Structures are given as structure tokens and as C-alpha cells.
């Protein structure tokens, strides 16, 4: 993010991701070596850089936030080929994924969502933490408030959003439109 | 000239002059002036004309409370109606005009209506519209005459943001009690949001001075503490317009609507000063004392040369002292009471010492006007006068004045409390409703609580703020301290003085006089709710802020009942006028697109909305009209091969040991016996047996199914499925793949050959028969393929993760090029399915169409133990059908065709309606479906009324119209 930028929107859509749900999902993910969050609406970022977000009692989202994507690719293959126990159901995830940061992050969130992210961002950490299932600009999203590392090592609050892909065009362009009202906006895309 | 020398605390910047015009007259104000104060400073007293009688009107409240000062503003190529002149800051170059005039505010051609008031009784609108014959006449006349500002129809849409905000304690009202509440709440660690509708904090603490500098210092000290406290955020020029559940409050800020969620709410909105009701109390020059004080101290404007104060409380004496201290010629203080109250005595003595005549036991008779329609004098009687040489104290007296300041009472600004569900009680020693019971988390303080003394208000606010913040911490909650008992009522019990010649206005918005309300009561509208609706009292833009209490007092007197028993009506949100641009805000209308959207655009798709999806209606073809392009798409599917994006279908998986049982309960067919690798049509009903959705269910594994829903219903049904699964306690897991999966229907005689080029799957009839489901790679993508025949040809519906959709689409088009493949849109698909007689739920059915009326008994397994709607169908089976879905055709070459929703007639009676219709390129004639009465369906023909009222006959036809045996989709021919 360049100096003077009010908001930066980074797309991570191409990253591999997968989901699973079912009564056996938590146990199966643990058996696969993932660090499974104990509570719904929370996430764990394991040492290998894979985010495991618990979206409900028995529903999970996996995505490699940093490091290698191999483990998630392998898990996705297991699910696609139905090699998991019958109590674990695969969930195909083709989401638009966007991380937003910048000085106007909270003002942006206050225009697009009725959830108060300020305390969540104030308490955000670089790994894990709460995930919020909410609606933004009329679209259901999974939101993960967190700290991200900048280019020179400083960390700043950010929120990563997962949005159903059929809303991707509307969601992305609406976020940019609102963001531009708040100041200069930059965009990017990376794995 | 009305502008005074600089006054400490004034809000204007005298170094920045503001040039503007009013009704063509050039005016000068200062930055920080409201429109009203700038006009007053320029000696302009008539700001507008009243709504009904077109009487001249001037300043009344100088606050956001009344509609006398609504103006039209032209600036920057825009013309904005109904700008609130009392609170909107004037800007350079503005061209301002009065609203609701014909020919200008000083020469309004409709002023003659004032003389017609005897012909315009209360309830006139209702009475006028009672006559059906005269309705159009009255409607035209009212539409011509009524209205305030003029809407600029050429105005461009403004995109205003909407914003959410959050706080621990929201304090509404920045007067002394609100300031104190905010400080106390913040002192306990709460995050506080303090909002006030004025340009600056302080409220009456800054403008009701009565020459007491200490009052101002106390208030300013509070403001400084608020400014210095980082836990308190302040929003000025912002008003709370509505309360909603769970402490959501709508704040109207200058630029946008802010929806605040507060954990606790402190309402410190004060009280609206109320007018006395006497003949001609609306003349420009008659104003509320608080309005005069606001103008005096915030904008250094004294609106009058010689004035009197009509009062019944200490606030009136305070205003009189303020007027004197700024050099006004105070003709008299007229007290409605027989003697000053204990809090007024010192001020009364001071006024007497300064030789101001004081009259007690005053009965107003009328205000009189001078040329131009502004105040010129005031007639009254009094019981006692404190002044030398007054003669007969009981004689009618006449004051020559150009200003009359009224301070006879207050009404609490408790609308938000009402909206929140507070219970009020009428307190006799205050002549005011005060909170008797507040909802949890809501606190009131200050004047709204019946506390009027400055120091008492600060103490009350401190207690409210501390209680509100304390209740956020477990174990710290405590009850509110009781409000102090007043030693002098701030409000007169009945400041209403009828006159034989009327024109004593109770409601300035609607020009309602005392007799209007009495007559409404006598006509039977004698409850507060009925009186409001019949007379329209309180229904104007100011929402009864100055009329509600006086109307209640009149009603109480007519009914001879105490006010407490009448109750109050609830002023619903929005309680203040709100710009439509604020309410509209930035529109969030989600639109869904399939992963093939860019492919469609590149192929020249003409898009249409389908639910909240964007879909290709058809693909434009060079040299072809819309109809020709659609016909060509139909022809391609019937003779060669076509492909359509059906990714908008709901796509859901259900897993688990009870998955089949779950589907058997949801849908009318049987799925427990569905073989793995096969599909079956699915029809869904509601509890009444009404058709609500359909689709196809395929079995992936013994305990896993994949199924589709209609485009518009997927989100709603997925939620309903989850609810039903939980309710029934079934062991199932539901996965919504609607947006994550794409779907392409490849259909036509050549479809197999096109598909074969991209998969190793055995597509032969024996290996992949009609209605089979297979999972296989197609063009390298993992796909689910269903052999279904919605369009009535050999076809494959291919479902796959959306990331692979575009490459498969392109691959199929490339391979199919030699076979004459063509993409087809929604319109071609509709015709193809219509030729097959397949219904579309929601188009060929309505909200009452039950499953017995569509002639599809094969889809209903009534012998199942249960499915939703089954019980109702059993009852309906024994009853005559209400309607039936039938097919119809028109002769080849018929010159006129019906449209969807055209009526089917049986004699002169309506017998049904056309649900689908179109020209079939395959059959070379117009075909359609209609829902009609069974008796009509049993006949040979339908009589349809088309555009223009013409009647045409259509032949009832057996369904389907095309390939009755289904040989083409089964490929059994």
C-alpha cells in the first residue's frame, strides 16, 4: 500500500481453498494435522500458514494464508474424491476473497456493515481470532479481522472477506465505489 | 436594522459577509447565520404563507420545530424545496424563495382563501372526497393548490452514504442536562456519542440567560469538559429522527443518515416551547420567547423595536430581562397567572424597578396587524396591573407593538421515548407528561423529565449518565435519583383563548383553529387518535410539536376528562423532516452473475434480470430482430445443438443417513427408492398444497443427493431446508453450492457428439440413459452430468465448480461449431419448454395454485407416509377444482396474439388468465398455457380479451404441443 492511500483492496481469489462440514468434520481435520478452533465463529492460523475457520458448530473453511498451499490442495483432493469419512461432507468453495486495510478501514466498514468491527480490529492479532458471519452491502460474507504485516515490518489492522462468487462483480465494484468516497484507493491481487 | 453589536458566544463570523437573495431582494448576512436569522437581520419578517389559508407567516421557533420557515433554495443549478430556514446555514449566492405562494410571499394571489375559512370546515378533505362524482374535481383542485416547495424533476440523483455507528451511551440533546449526562457516562469509562440538532452545544443554557452570567459560565464549563474528554464524540447539526428496537437510533446528519446502535440511551432533548392560542397568534412578529432568545444570543439579532412578553412562567420573565438588557423597548409583561410564581418574583421585581408595566390575570383578545400583514398591536384584558397611571385595570387594553414573545409553557420532546415504548403520566404540578416507566437501557433527564432549573438539570443529567454507564458494568447498576419537585409550573394549564371571529391557531402546519377541533369532537372524533386523523392536527411536517398538547387540552375540556386519561398519540419515525436523499442513500441492490457472464457479453448477449441474477435474454445477431434471433436459437436446439447457462439454478447437496427421508418429506415424489446415478423430477408444496418450487434430484451415493431449485428460490429454500431439518431432527448436512457451481445445458440432436469430444464417459444410451446422473471429467473439469430434457431434446445438464466454467463453455462452442452450435438465452428456453408444455413455477402457477390443478398426478406420491402439503391435497382431492392449467393454440397466421396475464372470459365473467404465450418457430403458430376454471378447461376453446379489449378465440390443445411421446429427449425414436 503506497503512502497516502486511504484503502487498499487485495484479492486472494486464486488461492486454493476448501470446506467441509458434518458431525465428523472437526475430528477429521484434527486427524489431518490441522489446528481446529474450539469455538464456532473463530479461526486458527497454524504454523504452516493454513487458516482453519470454524464457521458453525460443524462447518469449516480452510485456506493457505501464508506458506505452501500443498496441504490444502491435498485436503481438497481428499474431499473431492470422497476419501473422507461419511460423516464429513465436502463443501466446494469458489469465493471471492478480499483483504482490505488502510486508514479508512473502519469508516468503510461502518458504511457497508452493521457490525461494529472497531473493537475487533483493536484486538486483532496476526493469526486466528474471531470470524464474523455477517452481511455487507447486502451480501452474506465471512469476515476475519486481523493484523497484517506491511512491507517494512509494521503491522496494520485489516479484514479479510469471503464472498459467494456469484456476487463477486457486484461486491468488488461496490466496495471500490464506497472506498473511493473515503479517499484514494489501490487494488492488487496475489496468492 | 436588527443586527446587534457583537454578543459573547454568538455563532456568526462577522468577518465573512454572505450575499444572497430572498424573493429577488438582495440581502447580506454573515457566515454562521441561519437563513432565518439572516432574513431577520435584513428586516424581513414574512417568510412564507400558511398551508391552507395562505396567511403570512414569520419566525416561530427559530429551531427545527415548525414549518413557518420552509423555503425553496436555488443554487449551483439545483433547486431544493422545503429547506428548513431556521437551522440551515445561509450560503453565498443562494436564491431563496418562499414556498406555497402564487406570485410571491408579499403578493400571494391565493391569500383570498383566508376569507373562505368558514367554507372549509374541519374534515373538509374527507367530506369533499365523499362524493364519488366530485372526486376528480376536488382531486384536481387540491393537487393544484396544495403542496409546499416545488420538486425539481430534472434533479440528478444524489448518492449519499449511509453510515453505522456504535457507542456505549448515546446522549441525545446537547443542552445542560445532556452535557452533564455525557460527562458522567464518560467518567465511568463509557464511550459516549453526544448529538444535538443545533449548530453548537449548550442549548437553552446559552440562550436563556436572563442577565445571569453564571448560567452561561456553567454551561460553557460543561461544553469545555465535553470537548476535552476523548471518550465523548460530538455530532452537531444532527437530529435523532427515530428509535428502533434494540437501541437503534436514526440520526440525520447534514450529509447522511447515521444508524447508531447504542448499548444505553440517554434522552435529553428538552422541551418545545408552546404557543398561546389566541386570535391572530400566527401574525409575523408573534413568536416563541425561546426563538427570540436563540436569535439574540446565537446570531445577535433583535427582531423587534417595541415588544411585549406574554408569559405564564419564569422563562418569560427571563426573556423580558434579556430583551431589556439589549436595548429593546419592552412595552409590558403580560402574565396569564394572577401573580408571579416563586421563581419569577425576583425578575418581576427587577422589571418593576425598571418601570416595565406588569399585567397579571391577562386574557388575550387578539393580535392585530398592520399593512403587510405583520403584527401591529395586541389587545388584552387583565385582572391586575403593576404600573402607575393605568386607569381601569379591567378595561380592554391595546398595546402598539411589533413583537410579541410568548412563553406560556412547554411540551416535552419525548417522541423517542414513546417510540421506545415508555409509559408516560401527566404531572399536574408541571402540567406536563413525564416518564412513568422507561424501557430497559433508556434514561431520560432534564426538561423531558420535568426538571427546568439549570442546576437541577445538570444534576439530573449527571445522575442519568452515571446510571446509564453504571448499568453496563455488572453489579454497578443503581436506580435513578427522583427528579426534584417543582415549586413553579413552567406550563400554563390552558393557554387557549377562543375568539368569536376565530383565527386562533392551534396547529400552524394545517391552519387548524380552536373551533375546528371542537367541531371534530362534536362530530364524534373525540379520542386523541381520531381527533388527529380527522382534523389532521399534528400530521403536518412539524408533527404536532407545537399543537399536540394544546389539542389534547381542548379535547380534555370538551370531554370533561383529565388529560392523563386521554393518552398521547405516538409520533412515529421519522419525527423530523428528512431529505429524501438521506433516506434513499446509497442503494445496495446485489446483482448475481454466473461465472460465464463475460462469455455471454463477448457473444453479444442482451441481458435481463431473473430474480437477482443477470442472465442473457438472447444473443443479438447481425441483421436479425430480437424475435428472429430468438427463433434462430430455438431452431438450433431443435435441429442441431445449443447450449445455455443454467448456473442460476439453486444447487444444493444433502448428505447423511437421513438424506432420502429428508427429501421424501420435502418433495412430493419418492426418493428413498431412487437409484444411485439416477435423477427424478422434484415438486415442492407448502402446507396448503400450493406449488412453491420444482427441480431435479440426483442421487450421488446412498446417503448423498444433489438437487436443483428454481433460480429465484434457492436462498429462501436453503434456509427453509435448514429449518425443517432441525425441526424434524434428521441427521443430514446441507451444502449450498448455488454460487460455487456453474451449470450448462447442452441440448439438441447433436449434443452427444459435441460432449463426447471432451469426456471419456460412455455416453451411449445404454450406459447413460435418460434421467441418469454421472460424475466424470469433461474438458478436464470435475463435472456432474444429468441427462434431463427440460427443452425436449437429447440434452446434458453439466454442473461443475465455477472456476472451470468458462473453459468448458468455450470448449463446447469450439467443438460444436461444425455442428452449428448456438448459445441460447432465457427467451428461447422459455419457448422450448412451452412447446413441451413444461410449466414454470411462479409464472404458470400463482400463490394459490395447488398440485392437483396442473394435471401432473405422476409427480404426487400420495401413498407416501408424509410430505409437506400432502394433508391439504387429501382434503382438496374431494373438492371441486378451482382452476386447471391448459394449453391453447391460435391458428397459423393469426393476426393478433394474447400476452401473458390477458384474461380468459366465460361470457362476461373472468374465467382465468394466460400464463405463458409465444410464437413457436417449430410449430409455426402461437401457443400458450392458461389457468382457467375447470368448466372452461373442459371445453374446446378459450375466449381471450387482448389489448384494446378485442376478443379472440384460441383452441384448447392437449399438452405437450411438441413430441408428445418424449421420444426426442429419450432418444427412443
Q: What is the pLDDT of residues B856-868, one digit of tens each?
A: 899 999 999 999 9
Between positions 814 and 853 of B, the ones with CB within 8 A of A are none
Cα separation, B612 vs B592, whole angstroms? 6
B714 vs A: CB within 8 A: no
| Contacting residues of A for B731, CB less than 8 Å apart | 23
B480 vs A: CB within 8 A: no
| Contacting residues of B for A95, CB less than 8 Å apart | 740
The backbone torsions φ and ψ at residue B120, rounded to the nearest 5 degrees and listed phi first, read -120, 75
pLDDT at A189: 86
Nearest to B358 by CA among B321, B305, B325: B321
Q: B115 CA to chain A: closest CA distance, Å?
A: 52
Nearest chain A residue to B595 by CA: give it. Answer: A166
B162 vs A: CB within 8 A: yes
pLDDT in tens, B373-396: 999 999 999 988 876 555 566 689
Give the one of B591, B613, B733 whose C-beta lies nearest to A21's C-beta: B733
Cβ atoms within 10 Å of B513's Cβ, excluding its own: 21
The overall average pLDDT reported for chain B is 94
pLDDT in tens, B262-272: 999 999 999 99
Give the one of A22, A94, A137 whose C-beta lies nearest to B588's C-beta: A137
| Contacting residues of A for B656, CB less than 8 Å apart | 22, 89
For residue B574, cis peptide bond before it (omega within 30 degrees of 0): yes
CB-CB contact of B710 with B841 (8 Å): yes
pLDDT at B390: 53
Q: B723 CA to chain A: closest CA distance, Å?
A: 15
Q: Mean pLDDT across the stretch B940-956?
A: 95
Q: What is the DSSP string of B769-804?
A: -TTBEEEEEETTEEEEEE---TTSSSEEEEEEEGGG
Between B289-299 and B314-325, two packed helices, what is the crossing angle to 10 degrees? 40
Cα separation, A177 vs A108, whole angstroms? 10
Cα separation, B448 vs B417, whole angstroms? 10
Task: Check pLDDT > 90 for residue B584.
Answer: no
pLDDT in tens, B498-542: 999 999 999 999 999 999 999 999 999 999 999 999 999 998 888
Nearest to B52 by CA among B137, B132, B145: B145
| Contacting residues of B for A170, CB less than 8 Å apart | 590-593
pLDDT at A2: 63
**Percent of chain B scored above 70 by pLDDT?**
99
Q: Mean pLDDT across the stretch B605-619?
A: 96
Mean pLDDT in order along chain A per 10 residues (191 residues): 82 94 95 95 93 96 91 92 87 96 96 96 91 97 93 86 97 97 91 62
Give the pTM.
0.89
Task: Check pLDDT > 90 for residue B482.
Answer: no
Cα separation, B249 vs B241, whole angstroms? 8
| Contacting residues of A for B647, CB less than 8 Å apart | 166
| Contacting residues of B for A93, CB less than 8 Å apart | 740
Give the one of B591, B703, B803 whose C-beta lies nearest to A86's C-beta: B703
Cβ neighbors of B198 (< 8 A, separation 6 or more) are B63, B87, B174, B236, B237
pLDDT at B157: 82
pLDDT at B708: 98
Helix (H) or strand (E) holding B954: strand B951-957
Instruction: Tell me the helix, strand and coil percentages in chain B, rounded to 5.
Output: 30, 30, 45
Q: B677 CA to chain A: closest CA distance, Å?
A: 16
Task: Check pLDDT > 70 for residue B972.
Answer: no
CB contact under 8 Å between B735 and A137, yes or no, is no
Task: Check pLDDT > 70 for residue B110.
Answer: yes
Between positions 579 and 598 of B, the ones with CB within 8 A of A are 586, 588-595, 597
| Contacting residues of A for B164, CB less than 8 Å apart | 110-111, 113-114, 116
- Strand segments, DSSP code E, in B316-445 are 329-335, 358-360, 363-369, 375-381, 384-386, 397-400, 403-407, 410-412, 423-427, 432-437, 442-444
B645 vs A: CB within 8 A: no
Strand partners, B772: B678
Strand partners, B306: B329
CB-CB contact of B33 with B18 (8 Å): yes
pLDDT at B85: 95
A90 vs B: CB within 8 A: yes
Q: How many CB pairs under 8 A join A and B?
A: 88
Cα separation, B287 vs B86, whole angstroms? 13
Task: Check pLDDT > 50 for residue B842.
Answer: yes
Helix (H) or strand (E) holding B911: strand B909-920
Give the one of A23, A114, A169 whose C-beta lies nearest to B164's C-beta: A114
Q: Mean pLDDT across the stretch B736-740?
A: 96
Opening angle at CA B168, ends B189 and B182, nearest 5: 65
B722 vs A: CB within 8 A: no
Give the one of A80, A170, A178 whose C-beta lies nearest to B591's C-beta: A170
Cα separation, B434 vs A59, whole angstroms? 52
CB contact under 8 Å between A171 and B655, yes or no, is no
Cα separation, B169 vs B443, whole angstroms? 10
pLDDT at B117: 85
Query: CA separation (Å) from B686 to B470, B710, B860?
Result: 50, 15, 14
pLDDT at A165: 96
| Contacting residues of B for A90, CB less than 8 Å apart | 735
CB contact under 8 Å between B803 and A138, yes or no, is no
CB contact under 8 Å between A166 and B166, yes or no, is no
Nearest to A23 by CA among A88, A81, A118: A88
A108 vs B: CB within 8 A: no
- β-strands B432-437, B423-427: how paired? antiparallel
Cα separation, A138 vs A161, whole angstroms? 14
B261 vs A: CB within 8 A: yes
Cell numbers for B893: 397466421
A114 vs B: CB within 8 A: yes
| Contacting residues of B for A179, CB less than 8 Å apart | none
CB contact under 8 Å between A89 and B733, yes or no, is yes
Cα separation, B914 vs B843, whole angstroms? 10
pLDDT in tens, B655-714: 999 999 999 999 999 999 999 999 999 999 999 999 999 999 999 999 999 999 999 899
Taking the alpha carbons of B611, B613, B619, B624 in that order, is the dihedral positive or negative? positive
pLDDT at B1: 46
- Cα pseudo-dihedral B299, B301, B307, B312, rounded to 10: 0
| Contacting residues of A for B613, CB less than 8 Å apart | 166
pLDDT at B956: 97
pLDDT at A3: 64
Query: CA separation (Å) from B851 to B620, B648, B670, B860, B912?
Result: 38, 25, 16, 8, 17
Q: B261 CA to chain A: closest CA distance, Å?
A: 9
| Contacting residues of A for B703, CB less than 8 Å apart | 86
pLDDT at B303: 87
Between positions 765 and 784 of B, the ones with CB within 8 A of A are 782
Task: Check pLDDT > 50 for residue B403.
Answer: yes
Cell numbers for A183: 479517499
**Percent of chain B scored above 90 by pLDDT?**
83
Nearest to B256 by CA among A170, A110, A136: A110
Q: Integer distance in angstroms from the first to the last C-alpha of chain B?
A: 100
pLDDT band at B719 (very low <50, low <70, confident <90, very high): very high
Nearest to A128 by CA among A115, A144, A143: A144
Give the one of B164, B613, B647 whose C-beta lies nearest to A110's C-beta: B164
Give the one of B592, B656, B703 whose C-beta lies nearest to A166's C-beta: B592
Cα separation, A42 vs A146, whole angstroms? 12
For residue B960, cis peptide bond before it (omega within 30 degrees of 0): yes
Q: B286 CA to chain A: closest CA distance, Å?
A: 44
CB contact under 8 Å between B739 and A90, yes or no, is no
CB contact under 8 Å between B740 and A90, yes or no, is no
Amino acid at each position: 500500500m503506497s503512502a497516502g492511500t486511504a484503502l487498499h483492496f487485495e484479492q486472494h481469489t486464486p488461492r486454493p481453498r476448501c470446506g467441509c462440514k458434518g458431525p465428523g468434520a472437526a475430528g477429521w481435520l484434527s486427524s489431518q494435522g490441522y489446528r481446529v478452533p474450539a469455538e464456532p465463529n473463530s479461526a486458527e492460523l497454524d504454523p504452516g500458514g493454513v487458516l482453519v475457520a470454524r464457521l458453525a458448530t460443524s462447518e469449516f473453511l480452510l485456506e493457505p494464508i501464508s506458506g505452501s498451499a500443498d496441504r490444502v490442495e491435498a485436503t481438497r483432493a481428499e474431499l473431492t474424491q470422497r476419501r473422507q469419512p461419511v460423516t464429513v461432507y465436502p463443501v466446494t468453495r469458489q469465493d471471492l476473497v478480499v483483504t482490505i486495510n488502510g486508514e479508512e478501514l473502519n469508516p468503510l466498514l461502518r458504511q457497508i456493515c452493521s457490525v461494529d468491527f472497531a473493537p475487533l480490529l483493536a484486538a486483532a492479532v496476526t493469526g486466528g481470532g474471531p470470524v464474523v458471519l455477517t452481511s455487507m452491502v447486502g451480501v452474506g460474507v465471512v469476515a476475519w479481522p486481523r493484523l497484517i504485516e506491511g512491507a517494512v515490518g509494521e503491522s496494520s489492522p485489516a479484514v479479510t472477506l469471503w464472498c459467494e462468487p456469484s456476487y463477486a462483480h457486484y461486491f468488488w465494484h461496490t466496495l471500490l465505489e464506497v472506498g473511493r468516497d473515503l479517499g484514494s484507493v489501490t487494488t492488487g491481487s496475489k496468492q | 436594522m436588527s443586527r446587534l453589536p457583537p454578543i459573547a458566544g454568538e455563532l456568526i463570523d462577522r468577518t465573512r459577509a454572505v450575499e444572497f437573495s430572498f424573493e429577488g431582494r438582495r440581502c447580506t448576512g454573515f457566515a454562521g447565520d441561519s437563513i432565518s436569522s439572516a432574513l431577520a437581520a435584513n428586516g424581513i419578517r414574512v417568510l412564507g404563507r400558511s398551508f391552507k389559508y395562505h396567511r403570512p407567516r414569520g419566525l416561530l421557533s427559530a429551531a427545527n420545530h415548525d414549518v413557518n420557515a420552509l423555503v425553496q433554495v436555488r443554487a449551483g443549478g439545483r433547486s431544493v424545496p422545503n429547506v428548513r430556514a431556521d437551522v440551515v446555514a445561509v450560503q453565498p449566492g443562494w436564491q431563496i424563495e418562499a414556498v406555497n405562494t402564487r406570485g410571491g410571499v408579499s403578493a400571494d394571489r391565493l391569500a383570498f382563501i383566508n376569507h373562505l375559512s368558514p367554507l372549509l370546515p374541519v374534515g373538509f378533505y374527507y367530506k369533499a372526497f365523499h362524493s364519488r362524482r366530485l372526486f376528480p374535481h376536488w382531486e384536481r383542485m387540491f393537487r393544484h393548490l396544495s403542496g409546499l416547495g416545488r420538486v425539481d424533476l430534472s434533479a440528478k440523483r444524489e448518492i449519499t452514504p449511509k453510515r453505522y455507528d456504535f457507542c456505549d451511551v448515546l446522549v441525545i440533546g446537547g443542552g445542560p442536562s445532556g452535557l452533564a449526562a455525557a460527562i458522567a457516562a464518560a467518567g465511568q469509562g463509557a464511550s459516549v456519542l453526544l448529538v444535538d440538532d443545533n449548530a453548537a452545544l449548550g442549548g437553552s443554557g446559552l440562550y436563556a440567560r436572563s442577565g445571569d452570567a453564571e448560567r452561561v459560565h456553567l454551561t460553557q464549563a460543561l461544553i469545555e469538559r465535553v470537548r476535552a474528554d476523548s471518550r465523548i464524540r460530538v455530532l452537531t447539526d444532527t437530529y435523532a429522527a427515530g428509535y428502533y428496537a434494540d437501541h437503534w437510533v436514526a440520526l440525520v446528519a447534514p450529509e447522511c443518515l447515521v444508524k447508531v446502535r447504542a448499548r444505553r440511551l440517554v434522552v435529553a432533548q428538552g422541551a418545545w416551547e408552546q404557543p398561546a392560542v389566541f386570535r391572530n397568534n400566527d401574525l409575523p412578529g408573534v413568536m416563541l420567547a425561546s426563538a427570540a432568545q436563540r436569535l439574540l444570543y446565537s446570531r445577535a439579532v433583535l427582531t423587534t423595536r417595541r415588544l411585549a412578553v406574554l408569559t405564564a412562567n419564569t422563562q418569560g420573565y427571563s426573556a423580558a430581562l434579556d430583551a431589556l438588557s439589549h436595548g429593546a423597548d419592552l412595552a409590558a409583561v403580560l402574565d396569564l397567572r394572577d401573580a408571579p410564581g416563586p421563581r419569577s418574583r425576583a425578575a418581576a421585581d427587577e422589571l418593576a424597578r425598571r418601570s416595565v408595566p406588569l399585567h397579571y390575570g391577562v386574557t388575550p383578545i387578539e393580535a392585530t396587524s398592520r399593512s403587510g400583514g405583520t403584527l401591529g398591536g395586541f389587545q388584552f384584558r387583565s385582572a391586575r396591573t403593576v404600573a402607575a397611571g393605568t386607569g381601569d385595570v379591567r378595561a380592554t387594553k391595546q398595546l402598539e407593538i411589533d413583537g410579541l414573545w410568548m412563553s406560556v409553557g412547554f411540551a416535552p420532546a419525548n417522541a423517542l421515548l414513546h417510540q421506545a415504548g415508555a409509559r408516560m403520566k401527566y404531572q399536574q404540578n408541571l402540567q406536563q407528561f413525564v416518564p412513568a416507566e422507561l424501557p430497559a437501557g433508556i434514561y431520560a433527564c432534564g426538561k423531558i423529565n420535568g426538571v427546568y432549573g439549570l442546576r437541577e438539570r445538570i444534576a439530573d443529567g449527571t445522575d442519568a449518565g452515571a446510571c446509564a454507564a453504571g448499568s453496563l458494568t455488572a453489579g454497578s447498576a443503581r436506580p435513578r435519583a427522583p427528579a426534584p419537585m417543582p415549586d413553579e409550573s413552567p406550563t400554563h394549564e390552558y393557554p387557549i383563548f377562543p375568539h368569536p371571529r376565530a383565527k386562533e391557531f392551534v396547529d400552524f402546519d394545517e391552519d387548524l383553529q380552536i373551533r375546528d377541533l371542537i367541531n371534530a369532537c362534536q362530530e364524534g372524533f373525540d379520542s386523541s387518535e381520531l381527533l388527529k386523523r380527522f382534523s389532521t392536527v399534528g400530521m403536518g411536517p412539524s408533527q404536532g410539536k407545537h399543537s399536540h398538547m394544546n389539542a389534547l387540552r381542548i379535547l380534555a375540556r370538551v370531554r370533561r376528562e383529565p388529560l392523563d386519561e386521554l393518552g398521547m398519540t405516538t409520533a412515529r419515525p421519522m419525527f423530523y423532516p428528512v431529505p429524501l436523499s438521506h433516506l434513499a442513500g446509497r442503494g445496495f441492490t446485489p446483482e448475481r452473475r454466473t461465472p460465464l457472464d463475460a462469455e455471454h457479453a463477448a457473444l453479444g448477449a442482451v441481458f435481463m434480470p431473473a430474480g437477482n441474477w443477470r442472465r442473457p435474454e438472447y444473443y443479438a445477431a447481425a441483421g436479425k430482430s430480437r424475435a428472429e434471433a430468438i427463433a434462430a436459437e430455438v431452431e438450433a436446439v431443435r435441429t442441431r445443438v445449443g447450449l445455455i447457462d443454467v448456473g442460476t439454478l439453486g444447487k444444493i447437496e444433502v448428505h447423511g443417513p437421513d438424506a432420502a427421508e429428508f427429501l421424501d418429506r420435502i418433495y412430493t415424489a419418492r426418493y428413498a427408492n431412487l437409484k444411485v446415478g439416477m435423477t427424478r423430477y422434484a415438486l415442492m408444496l407448502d402446507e396448503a398444497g400450493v406449488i412453491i418450487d420444482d427441480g431435479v434430484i440426483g442421487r450421488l451415493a446412498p446417503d448423498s443427493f444433489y438437487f436443483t431449485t428454481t433460480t429465484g428460490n434457492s436462498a429462501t429454500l436453503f434456509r427453509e431446508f435448514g429449518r425443517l431439518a432441525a425441526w424434524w431432527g434428521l441427521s443430514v448436512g446441507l451444502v449450498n453450492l448455488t454460487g460455487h457451481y456453474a451449470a450448462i445445458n447442452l441440448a439438441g440432436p447433436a449434443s452427444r457428439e459435441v460432449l463426447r469430444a471432451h469426456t471419456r464417459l460412455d455416453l451411449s444410451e445404454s450406459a447413460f440413459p435418460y434421467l441418469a446422473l454421472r460424475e466424470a471429467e469433461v474438458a478436464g473439469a470435475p463435472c456432474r452430468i444429468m441427462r434431463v430434457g427440460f427443452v425436449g431434446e437429447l440434452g446434458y445438464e453439466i454442473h461443475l465448480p465455477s472456476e472451470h466454467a468458462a473453459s468448458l463453455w468455450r470448449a463446447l462452442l469450439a467443438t460444436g461449431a461444425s455442428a452449428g452450435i448456438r448459445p441460447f438465452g432465457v427467451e428461447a428456453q422459455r419457448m422450448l419448454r412451452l412447446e413441451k408444455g413444461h410449466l414454470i413455477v411462479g409464472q404458470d402457477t400463482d400463490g394459490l395454485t395447488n398440485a392437483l390443478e396442473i394435471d401432473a398426478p405422476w409427480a404426487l406420491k400420495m401413498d407416501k407416509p408424509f410430505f409437506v402439503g400432502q394433508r391439504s391435497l387429501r382434503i382438496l382431492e374431494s373438492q371441486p377444482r378451482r382452476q386447471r392449467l391448459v394449453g391453447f393454440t391460435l391458428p397459423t397466421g393469426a393476426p393478433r396474439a394474447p400476452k401473458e396475464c390477458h384474461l380468459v372470459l366465460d361470457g362476461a365473467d373472468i374465467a382465468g388468465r394466460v400464463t405463458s404465450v409465444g410464437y413457436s418457430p417449430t410449430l409455426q403458430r402461437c401457443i400458450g398455457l392458461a389457468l382457467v376454471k375447470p368448466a372452461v378447461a373442459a371445453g374446446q376453446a378459450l375466449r381471450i380479451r387482448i389489448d384494446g379489449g378485442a376478443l379472440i378465440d384460441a383452441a384448447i390443445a392437449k399438452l405437450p404441443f411438441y413430441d408428445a411421446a418424449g421420444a426426442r429427449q429419450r432418444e427412443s425414436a
